[in-house]
Amino acid sequence: MALDYDGALDSKEFMATVWNAFLKLYGEYGASRTGLTLIDYDAEKRFAIIRTVHTAVEMARTALASISKIGNKPAAVHVLVVSGTLKALYKKIQG
């Protein structure tokens, strides 16, 4: 996914924002069923890879699309590619 945000943002702040989006939309129970994990985060390229269970892909897309601010600054998260495995994901990204 790509991150549109002006300013520095580390992986902990990014994931806190993502978790808050999930919690707002689905509550603690719904968010806990997603298996959300940060796989890769590059602050310079504003790029992240997150993992979720296959049954929660649409939930993840919705929650990520709902992010409009990080702190007091405007932000947006764009899903670029979805894949079933990390190997296939990296192939799609590079190719």
Domain ranges of the chain: 2-94
What are 15-73's pLDDT values in tens digits?
999 999 999 999 999 999 999 999 999 989 999 999 999 999 999 999 999 999 998 89
SS3 content of the chain, % helix, strand, coil (to 5): 45, 25, 30
Fold that domain 2-94 belongs to in CATH: Alpha-Beta Plaits (3.30.70)
Name the β-bridge partners of 51.
37
User: Residue 89 pLDDT more than 80?
Assistant: yes
Question: Sign (positive/negative) of CA torsion 24, 28, 32, 36?
Answer: positive
Q: What is the pLDDT of residue 13?
A: 93
Angstrom distance (rounded) from CA 7 to CA 28:
29
Q: What is the pLDDT of residue 71?
A: 85
User: Residue 7 pLDDT more than 90?
Assistant: no
| pTM reported for the whole predicted model | 0.88
Q: What is the pLDDT of residue 61?
A: 96
**CA neighbours within 13 Å on the CB side: how many for 12?**
0
